[in-house]
Chain A
Amino acid sequence: MELYKKLNIDKKVFNYIISKLKRVPNDFETYLFSAMHSEHCGYLHSKKYLNDFYTENNFNNENAGCIKIKDYSVFFKMESHNHPCAIEPYQGAMTGIGGIIRDILSLGANPVCLLNSLKFGKIKENKTKYYLQEVVRGISTYGNSVGIPVISGETIFEKCFNNIPIVNVLALGLVKTNKIKLSCAKANAYIIILGSKTGIDGLGGATFASNVLSEKSSRSSVQIGDPYIKKKLIEAAIKINNLKSVIACQDLGASGILSSTSEMCYKGNCGAELYLEKVHTQIKTILPLEIMLSETQERMAFVVEKNGIEEFKKIANDFELEYSIIGKTTKENSYKIFYKNNILANIPLNVLCEPYLFNLKKGHKKNLKKKSKNSDLKKLFINMINDENFTSKKYIYSQFDQEVQGRTAFSQKENSIGIQYLKEVSSYIAICCKTIINQDTTTAVKNTFLNLYRKLVSCGFEPKGLTNCLNFSNPGDKYVQNDFLDVIYELKRLSFEFKMPVVSGNVSFYNENKKSKIPPCATLAMVGVLDDEKMLIKPNIYKNNNIYFLGETKNIQNHFEYEINLKNIIFDLYKNKLINTVKTIGKFGLLTALTKNAVFYNVGFKINGLEELYFKEYHSGYLLISEKNIDKELNKYGVSYFYLGKYLGDKILFENLEFDLNQIRELYQNKLNFEMEN
């Protein structure tokens, strides 16, 4: 069998390489192409479609994008680590956090918080507990140790994720705008690798993540994390990136030295010469190819001018970190790899970094199955409170340090979105993420977006930016292609309509095994900003508070103007001290929202009306909580509202049904712990 076939390079992709290279690549080069032109590194099936978002002049080709607050930039990005987590969940989750931190760090930003979106099978299913326990332990071990708080997140338990855990993690960091370090190299400088010794762990991770999972998926493709080295690397990298003589910085993630060095030079229109015998390695017998493709964690690449080498060395030594000067940048367009005086590869960078891109086809839409509707309210409610998606996620979030660095104002302990104070800019930021899974992908994306928008508004924040992590199954499937395009078009439309920059993104395909595949799964995360502390809407609910629903019970058409109007009304009401707090209604409907709040603030409720919202996924409104009667004031705004009832007592009362709050609380607080321990 020819090598390219063995390496799973698509024939179209390989022919394209030959036509651009004007020769057949040698074996060494073919290995390099198999990594760089994998789905994971090259985004072959998605790249064509990812440049159309509203971005507000953001950095197109960087590891992450940003929003601006005063003279600072807030970078954030979300990334999937699904494949490693399916094989080795503890290490997979650890290195997922490690990787996303490096993405932020490589831009010169100081990471200030983390988020995660975790999706597992139903709790009673086979391996769910194992995956949950190990993924959470991985995030906990790594995030806590490097000292970055996990301030928010979501966990979903659905049958479709059985044995295919979806682990998406987000990091957010802060840097003075004039100190941003791009990954754009210049000629006649040195290429330095800083951090752990290169070893043979995580070999071929990029190609492994570009295929369907099977029994053959190898544990050796999973990288191993070391948060202690990472902590030192973070501190050193921030110092190094402050040096003027440091031209560019890139993290060593998928396809390690290969992708980081080639991309920096490609972006900077220069070439590179690497001497692999110079790389500091774990073992002497490591092969040149392994050095190129190793995904050993806790390494970063820098391009440094000659006059900065001494300063660089001093910082590395201060932090007791190893480094090696492995080559230099050149004026040519070629990427040359040497090992002990032999040349192993010589590839023009545009050939190495511009893979064949596939066209996706629209038009293959699955027929939507109609869900059978159960109208027995009592049964629906009991099912809801017994579902693990309803329960408290304290088992998970209590394992994360939520307050290290001292910036966190509200975290998962007390709020569904994370809020931090950034003293560098005297502003608050809020961040939350969400996934709605629905057969109708367009509607799902729209509602995820609006849900996040409203969540930020409900805490007093101005929504400012968006990122995404798009998890799909095999992109060769025509239905998957159609779903993917639907998601992209809808995101594009919303980003332009709301002038909401999509600052970064990540696509993960092939989330399937022999038995099943995941449904389209677009996880979005949104960041909001608030300058005036007085306008931060705190989450508390008290006895005898009135509950109003503000907005429409159905999805409306002209979202932008409508949402802006609601936002202004809410900010106005809060400014005039007419409301105590604002709550959103999540994807499980009105009763879930009210009941969760009742449990959390230890007060029952009694409501009448709006039955259509009880279990409805989609709507267009907010819950306003007030100690006053605000009908008169609400009337003034000319927007429809509805008086629902009150928070009071220790019962949950609706439609002549009565439930005991204490019993529900018991279930809410203990179910997940109980399931995990038994």
Chain B
Amino acid sequence: MQKIKAAVVKFFGTNCEKETLEALLANGFDSCIIGQNEKNIDKYDLIVLPGGFSYGDYISCGRIAKYTPVIKSIKNNIRKRKIFILGICNGFQILTEAGLIPGALLENINGKFQCDDVKLNFLNKKFILPIANHQGRYYIDDIKKLKDCELIKYENNPNGSSFDIAGIYDKKNYILALMPHPERNMITPFKPKNGIIIFEFIKNIIEKEFYGVI
């Protein structure tokens, strides 16, 4: 079976692209890094928007990145074919800014950057992943807007997120956005490799629903 082709997008100010690439490779994805000006993403089945501070978080997190050519072509591809989008941390912020995920990410309730390990709950699995963000408080006024979504929830909400939401998987459009960093645990020495849960989940969906593998 052929490996899934994946691309990690590096914007100016992105700083997690290398470890994200490594984590994808370690999980069996055929991966590379592409730039913010990439217009042709037709050959990739998975696009990852990694963590960092795209465009220095100027104006607001993800506000400028959403106007880049690569985001335009992501939108086009979502319209015309099956493509999986994973947004981690700043990637999540970009996805909400671009209107690909409902809701918004606000400043953490304590007003500070938070770097910590958090307990998560996703599809009845409990696991720990690290968070590292300043605008990680997910806000949505009405949970009904997420009716086609699976949710990744915090066990102990660290930042005031609505409905304890740490991440969202939009089943219809194959978009997974989360604040915790699955890539970090995958390659950081001595840490539990819990990120595998996220990467395996993506792999299964692409293989089943894109390639029809049973």
Q: A399 — which chain B residues lie within 8 A by C-beta?
A: 112-115
A128-142 interface code vs B (CB 8 A; 1 in, 0 out): 000000000100110
- Chain A interface residues toward B at CB < 8 A: 137, 140-141, 144-147, 226-229, 231-232, 319-320, 397-410, 413, 421, 428, 533, 538
| Other-chain residue from B55, B114, B117 in contact with A228 (beta carbon distance below 8 A) | B55
Q: How close is B29's CB to chain A, nearest CB, in angstroms?
A: 16
Show the binding face of B for A, using Cβ within 8 Å.
12-13, 15-16, 18-19, 22-23, 51-53, 55-58, 112-117, 130, 132, 134, 181, 183-184, 187-191
- Determine which of B57, B116, B132, B190 lies in contact with A410 in the assembled complex, contact meaning CB atoms within 8 Å: B190
User: CB < 8 Å: which of B12, B19, B114, B190 contacts A406?
Assistant: B19
The docked-state distance in angstroms from the alpha carbon of A229 to that of B191 is: 32
* A228-B115 in contact (CB<8A): no
Q: Please, which residue of chain B has its CB at the minimum distance from the CB of A410?
A: B190
Residues of B within 8 A of A232 (CB): 12-13
Residues of B within 8 A of A145 (CB): 13, 15, 53, 56-57
Which B residues are in CB contact (< 8 Å) with A400? 113, 115
Q: Considering only CB atoms, which chain B residue lies closest to A420 in the complex?
A: B189
Closest to B22 in A: A406
Q: In the complex, what distance in Å separates the CA atom of A144 from the CA atom of B51?
A: 11
A408 to B112, CA, bound (A): 22
Q: What's the minimum C-beta distance from A665 to chain B, rounded to whole angstroms?
A: 17
Whether B188 contacts A408 by the Cβ 8 Å rule is: yes
By the criterion CB–CB under 8 Å, are A320 and B188 in contact?
A: no
In the complex, the answer to whether B113 meets A140 with C-beta atoms within 8 Å is: yes
Question: How far apart sit A226 and B12, CA to CA, in the bound complex (Å)?
Answer: 13
Report the Cα distance A320→B37, complex, angstroms: 13
**Which among A144, A407, A428 is the interface contact of B132 at CB below 8 angstroms?**
A144
What is the bound-complex CA distance between A144 and B113, given in angstroms?
9
Please determine whether B183 and A398 come into contact, CB atoms closer than 8 angstroms: no
Let me know if A401 and B13 touch, CB within 8 A. Answer: no
By beta carbon, the residue of chain A nearest B188 is: A406
User: How far, in Å, is A317 (CB) from chain B's closest CB?
Assistant: 13
Cα–Cα distance between A405 and B50 once the two chains are bound (Å): 12
Q: Is the CB of A398 within 8 A of B115?
A: yes
- The reply to whether B130 and A228 form a contact with Cβ atoms under 8 Å apart is no
Shortest Cβ distance from residue B63 to the other chain A in the assembled complex, whole angstroms: 13
How many Å from the CB of A53 to the closest CB on chain B?
A: 33
CB neighbours (8 Å) of A227 from chain B are 53, 56
- A selection of 11 A-B contacts at a CB cut-off of 8 Å is A229-B56, A232-B12, A319-B12, A399-B113, A403-B181, A404-B15, A404-B16, A404-B184, A406-B18, A409-B188, A538-B190
CB nearest to A408 among chain B residues: B188
Contacting residues, chain B, for A319 (C-beta < 8 A): 12
Shortest distance in angstroms between B188's beta carbon and chain A's nearest beta carbon?
5
Known: A227-B56, A400-B115. A405 touches B130 (CB 8 A): no
Scoring A231, A402, A403 by chain B CB atoms within 10 A of each residue's CB, the highest score goes to A403
Residues of A within 8 A of B116 (CB): 398, 413
Q: Closest CB-CB distance, B173 to chain A, in whole Å?
A: 29
Residue in contact with A405 in the complex, picked from B19, B58, B191, CB distance below 8 Å: B19
CA–CA, A260 to B130, complex, Å? 40
Report the 4 A-B pairs with minimum CB-CB distance, sorted nearest first.
A228-B56, A147-B15, A406-B19, A409-B189
